[in-house]
Amino acid sequence: MPRGLNLGCRAGGAGPRLDRVEQTPGAAGPPLTPRTAVVWSVLRAELDRRPSAELTVLDVGGGTGGFAVPLAQAGHQVTVVDASPDALAALSRRAAEAGVADRVRAVQGDGDALAGLVEPDSVDLVLCHAVLEVVDEPASVVTALATALRPGGAASVLVAGRSAAVLGRAMNGHLDVAATLATDPAGTARPRDTLRRRFDAEGAAALLTAAGLTVEEIHGVRVLADLLPAAVADGQQGALVELERALAARSPWRDLAVQLHLFARRPA
Ligand SMILES: C[S@@+](CC[C@H](N)C(=O)[O-])C[C@H]1O[C@@H](n2cnc3c(N)ncnc32)[C@H](O)[C@@H]1O
């Protein structure tokens, strides 16, 4: 039977030390970070819909298991499909150290070839975080996610936001790159850009909708976190987490976030 979440979350990317985990004082539940608190809030609400169920979870591009391992610790069965053998090796170590190796399956593979790796209609919750901006064919990956879901199953999709990238480059003095990111159809400044595309909320939602998913919620993740000096982010992390959560669903803050989190469902 699933236990309460105890979510030690991995943080990714550059910026101030935002990966340090803090527990909300006096509150039971997951440790919170500015990078992950909003996503975990949405996921926790979904898990709470079926508190005693052992869910089948698929994390596509799950990397080293920042989400997969806490979900396994909460009692769910998690399969991570990732293209990187190194990431999967780190995932397996992490799962073993957390005592949940039997609940975490690491599968090397491509996100748009899930059909051969995961049974269709078999997954309760699929995660695809920070992946659609780097794959060849995001529409194929999203279709594969939707196919893997059972009717009524849910998808948690995290993508890079275009607006924050434009602001970030401009504030660092790279006005030419900012202009390219603002006008390029895919929101990339390739070939020097590490991401192949960035999204606005409407474009990301359209991608999921085209695959037959119903988008239920969209939140901004890291509205402020990457803009703050490290001393502020580190020194007031609890307040920052609360502010991120307060701003995540509100205009215009949501659309200025470094990442956009979409929560969608396959119709039952
Ligand atoms: C930026 S990391 C994100 C990791 C994790 N989802 C997170 O949010 O912390 C992107 C991950 O996607 C994986 N990846 C990239 N392209 C992929 C593909 N076509 N199929 C499966 N995994 C892929 C990478 O190996 C990497 O682990």
Instruction: Find residue 156's DSSP bridge partners.
Output: 127, 263
Counting from 1 in the atom list of ligand 1, the atom nearest the Cα of 10 is 9
Which contiguous run of DSSP H or E holds residue 23? strand 22-23
Unique residue bearing structure tokens 């997969």: 68
Question: How many angstroms separate the CA atoms of 98 and 72, rounded?
Answer: 9
Q: Report whether pLDDT(10) > 80.
A: no
Question: How many angstroms separate the CA atoms of 131 and 136, rounded?
Answer: 10
pLDDT attached to residue 115: 82
Substitution candidate for ligand 1 out of 18, 79, 82, 104 with most atoms within 8 A of CB: 82
The packing angle between helices 162-171 and 175-183, to 10°, is 160
Pairing of strands 104-108, 77-82: parallel
Counting from 1 in the atom list of ligand 1, the atom nearest the Cα of 87 is 27
Q: Which residues of 153-173 are buried (b: 16+ CB within 10 A; e: fewer)?
A: bbbbbbbbbbbbbbbbbbeee
- Name the average pLDDT for the chain: 89
pLDDT attached to residue 162: 98
pLDDT attached to residue 112: 84
The single-letter DSSP state of residue 12 is: -
- For ligand 1, is residue 66 a contact (CB within 6 Å)? yes
29 or 151, higher pLDDT: 151
**Per-residue CA distances from 169 to 19, 73, 113, 175, 252 (Å):** 22, 38, 34, 7, 19
pLDDT attached to residue 2: 55
Question: How many angstroms separate the CA atoms of 158 and 19, rounded?
Answer: 17
Hey, whose CA ends up nearest to atom 8 of ligand 1? 129
Of 39, 41, 101, 103, the closest CA to residue 76 belongs to 103
Q: What is the DSSP string of 97-109?
A: HTT-GGGEEEEE-
Q: Report whether pLDDT(231) > 50.
A: yes
- For ligand 1, is residue 170 a contact (CB within 6 Å)? no
pLDDT tens digit sequence for 106-152: 999 999 888 889 999 999 999 999 999 999 999 999 999 999 999 99
Question: How many angstroms separate the CA atoms of 36 and 19, rounded?
Answer: 9
pLDDT attached to residue 31: 66
Question: How many angstroms separate the CA atoms of 48 and 51, rounded?
Answer: 5
The packing angle between helices 138-148 and 201-210, to 10°, is 50
pLDDT attached to residue 23: 40
pLDDT tens digit sequence for 162-215: 999 999 999 999 999 999 999 999 999 998 899 999 999 999 999 999 999 999
- pLDDT-based confidence at residue 25 (cuts at 50, 70, 90): very low
Other Cβ atoms less than 10 A from the Cβ of 3: the count is 9
Of 262, 257, 180, 265, the closest CA to residue 221 belongs to 257
pLDDT tens digit sequence for 70-87: 999 999 999 999 999 999
Question: How many angstroms separate the CA atoms of 204 and 5, rounded?
Answer: 28
pLDDT attached to residue 142: 97
- For ligand 1, is residue 91 a contact (CB within 6 Å)? no
24-33, 59-68, 170-179, 254-263: least confidently modelled range: 24-33
Please check whether residue 104 is in contact with residue 91, taking contact to mean a CB–CB distance below 8 angstroms. Answer: yes
The single-letter DSSP state of residue 31 is: E
Q: Report whether pLDDT(32) > 90.
A: no
